[in-house]
Amino acid sequence: MDTDAPDLSRLSDALREGSATEHRAAEASPFVGQLLAGRATRSQYAGYLRRLRVVYATLEAAVLAHREHPAVAAVYDEDLVRTAALDQDLAHWGPGVDDVPVSSGARAYRDRIEAASATPELLVAHHYTRYLGDLSGGRMLAHALRASRDGDETGLAFYDFPEVPKPVPYKRDYRDRLDALALTASQRSALVDEVRCAFRLNRGLLDEVGALA
């Protein structure tokens, strides 16, 4: 028996396995490769941050508004909030979100999160996709960005989670909270579909940035 095989009765495993194709596609974005190789331009990175600012502002407002919903309450954590950090970084990289129209990719992502708010447990899919990604692959991006700038930390506040000094146990606890959610089969299936959608929207956003001059 393979003890490492995913247990799809656990929601965390179902979300990971059910969205694996879309997750890999997002990670394979050429822009991610540029970031990891230290080849992204300043204008591209600023464009990336502007788009993230739209996404996180929408997500964090929705999660805050529905924080009493049982599913949202299970993952809600003020220590994860990224909006202020993105504002701080944009002040360095510029221009800010108020100086440039919202892109089509960011708009599509924003609209999907707003639609998910009508069924609050679906916000968990977007919360899971963004923040566990930040605490996983985001740390690799941060390392690559620091290395490409000779260790300069300026403008990288987005990747800094001072209240989460040990991401591995935090992510384990987060997944345990997901697994404890009392959801119907149809709700679980809808969450998996929403995670797939979130990864596709993220890939669209990354492709948009990769096309910037």
Amino acid of residue 190: A
In a domain, 5, yes or no: no
DSSP string, 43-84: HHHHHHHHHHHHHHHHHHHHHHHTTTSHHHHHH--GGG--HH
Task: List Cβ neighbours of 21 (8 Å cut-off, separation of 6 or more).
Answer: none
- How many folded domains does the chain comprise? 1
- Both structure tokens of 93: 């990289």
In a domain, 3, yes or no: no
> Tens of pLDDT along the chain (213 residues)?
445 667 778 999 999 999 999 999 999 999 999 999 989 999 999 999 999 999 999 999 999 999 999 999 999 999 999 999 999 999 999 877 777 889 999 999 999 999 999 999 999 999 999 999 999 999 899 999 999 888 888 999 999 999 999 999 999 999 999 999 999 999 999 999 999 999 999 999 999 999 986
In a domain, 4, yes or no: no
Tell me the CA end-to-end span of the chain in Å, nearest whole number.
51
Supply the CATH number for residue 145's domain: 1.20.910.10
In a domain, 2, yes or no: no
Whole-number Å distance between alpha carbons of 152 and 145: 9
Do 117 and 123 touch, CB atoms closer than 8 A? yes
Nearest to 121, CA basis, from 189, 173, 204 = 189
In a domain, 38, yes or no: yes
In a domain, 121, yes or no: yes
In a domain, 171, yes or no: yes
C-alpha to C-alpha distances, 29 to 55, 120, 210, nearest whole angstrom: 18, 29, 8
Domain around 43: 11-210
Whole-number Å distance between alpha carbons of 39 and 36: 8
pLDDT for the residue 135? 97
